[in-house]
Structures are given as structure tokens and as C-alpha cells.
């Protein structure tokens, strides 16, 4: 059982996009998990085994309570029944309250597919009769991440201050040695931080409007 679950396409997506948020969530006592659809064999020049090892190291640094790498082909993740059905049992097994995944509007076709797969699987996993275990599971919401402003032309709806967790994020990004992503990830967090008025931040997007029960919900 986890509170927050990220569904990603490639081994380094998680640390770059929400590594700081998840490290912060862990420190605040929440349970966290990640599911990665591919083993990243098409990214850079690294062997699949290297990328797998790097992902395990990154996950350990963030302190994940649930971690699973699926075996879909890198640069070949397709939206469809096979992928949805591969994700549903994991969603039911770790029953997250909040699911994090890519914005659909993204440069990488695997990210686009994973976004669609996650939305469909979250819906289907909540259908009691679809499962064999006959238990109810409902998530509270899906939040999106994405770093490609050129494509999505949007700035995040929510910024999370990750300043106190930036070193954990840096180390977890460093774990993906073969991909050399740390500089990019730090610049992204710094840029979001500038907009958010803090040193480092990560950005999230809402998929739907939110409802507040009390005006206090509007207050800082």
C-alpha cells in the first residue's frame, strides 16, 4: 500500500520529474512507489542491465516502498489492452491515493503512451467486477508532470518546494550515470524554483478542476 505512486516510462524519468517531491513525501511519513514500463535499453549507449542497476540505485536513494520495472520495449510502449492489463494488478496491489504520471502532451511517444495507459488503468482498476480479488479500490486523483515546455506550452499548476531534498534528488539523478541527466534535472528544478519563489521546486499539472469544501482551502 502506498500513498503516492509514480508511473513512468524510462528508468530516469522519476528522479528527474518528481524525485524531490517523493523524497519530501517520504520524509513527511507517506509511503511511496514507482512503476517503470521499460528498462530503458534504447536510451544512450548503456546496456539494459546497467540501466536496471541504475534505476534500483536511484529508487533506493529516494527510499521507495514499492518499486517495479515492467518489460515493455523502450521506444515501443503502445497504448492498448496489454499495457493497461499489465498495470492494473500493480495499481490494485499498492492502491495509491495519488497517482503521478506524464502529461499526455509530451515529446516522447513512450511518455504519451504511459500517460494514456495510466489514466485507463486507474479507471479500470477501480471497477470491482474487473478484478479477481473483489475488493474496492479508488484513488483520490491523478497529478501530471512534464518538463517539455516547447511541446506542452504550459507552466505547472502546482509547485512543490523541494529545496530541503535537492541533494537527495541530485544523488538519485547521479545514480543514472549512463544518462548524464543531473545537470538538466537541477536546471529544471532551479527554473521552477525561480517561478515558485523558492530555491528549488518541482512542478505538477492538474488534469481536472479542484473543489474546495471551505474557504480556508483558498487560504495559504
Q: Residue numbers of the site for Zn ion (CB under 5 A)?
A: 9-10, 13
Please identify, using beta-carbon distances, which residue of 17 and 95 lies nearer to Zn ion: 17
Smallest separation (angstroms) from Zn ion to the CB of 184: 12
Classified as helix, coil or strand, 72 is strand
Classified as helix, coil or strand, 5 is strand
Classified as helix, coil or strand, 28 is coil
Smallest separation (angstroms) from Zn ion to the CB of 106: 9
Please identify, using beta-carbon distances, which residue of 95 and 101 lies nearer to Zn ion: 101
Smallest separation (angstroms) from Zn ion to the CB of 65: 22
Smallest separation (angstroms) from Zn ion to the CB of 163: 25
Taking a C-beta distance cutoff of 8 angstroms, is the pair 13, 36 a contact?
yes
Please identify, using beta-carbon distances, which residue of 92 and 116 lies nearer to Zn ion: 116
Please identify, using beta-carbon distances, which residue of 10 and 92 lies nearer to Zn ion: 10
Report the residue closest to Zn ion, judged by CB.
10
Smallest separation (angstroms) from Zn ion to the CB of 10: 4
Task: Give DSSP secondary structure letters for 164-191.
Answer: GGHHHHHHHHHT-TTT--HHHHHHHHHH
Separation CA 76–CA 110 (nearest Å): 7
Please identify, using beta-carbon distances, which residue of 13 and 202 lies nearer to Zn ion: 13
Separation CA 36–CA 69 (nearest Å): 5
Separation CA 99–CA 177 (nearest Å): 27
Amino acid at each position: 500500500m502506498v500513498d503516492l505512486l509514480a508511473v513512468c516510462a524510462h528508468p530516469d524519468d522519476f528522479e528527474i520529474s518528481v524525485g524531490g517531491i517523493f523524497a519530501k513525501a517520504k520524509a513527511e511519513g507517506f509511503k511511496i512507489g514507482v512503476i517503470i514500463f521499460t528498462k530503458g535499453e534504447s536510451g544512450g549507449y548503456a546496456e539494459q542491465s546497467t540501466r536496471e542497476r541504475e534505476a534500483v540505485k536511484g529508487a533506493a536513494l529516494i527510499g521507495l516502498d514499492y518499486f517495479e520495472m515492467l518489460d515493455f520495449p523502450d521506444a515501443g510502449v503502445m497504448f492498448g489492452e496489454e499495457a493497461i492489463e499489465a498495470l492494473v494488478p500493480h495499481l490494485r496491489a499498492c492502491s495509491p491515493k495519488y497517482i503521478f504520471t506524464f502529461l499526455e502532451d509530451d515529446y516522447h511517444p513512450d511518455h504519451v503512451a504511459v500517460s494514456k495507459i495510466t489514466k485507463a488503468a486507474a479507471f479500470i482498476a477501480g471497477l470491482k467486477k474487473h478484478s479477481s480479488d473483489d475488493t474496492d479500490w479508488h484513488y483520490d486523483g491523478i497529478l501530471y508532470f512534464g518538463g517539455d515546455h516547447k511541446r506542452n506550452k504550459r507552466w505547472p499548476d502546482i509547485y512543490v518546494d523541494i529545496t530541503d531534498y535537492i541533494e537527495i534528488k541530485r544523488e538519485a539523478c547521479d545514480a543514472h550515470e549512463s544518462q548524464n541527466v543531473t545537470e538538466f534535472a537541477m536546471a529544471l528544478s532551479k527554473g521552477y524554483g525561480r517561478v515558485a519563489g523558492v530555491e528549488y521546486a518541482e512542478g505538477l499539472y492538474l488534469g481536472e478542476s479542484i473543489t474546495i469544501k471551505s474557504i480556508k482551502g483558498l487560504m495559504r
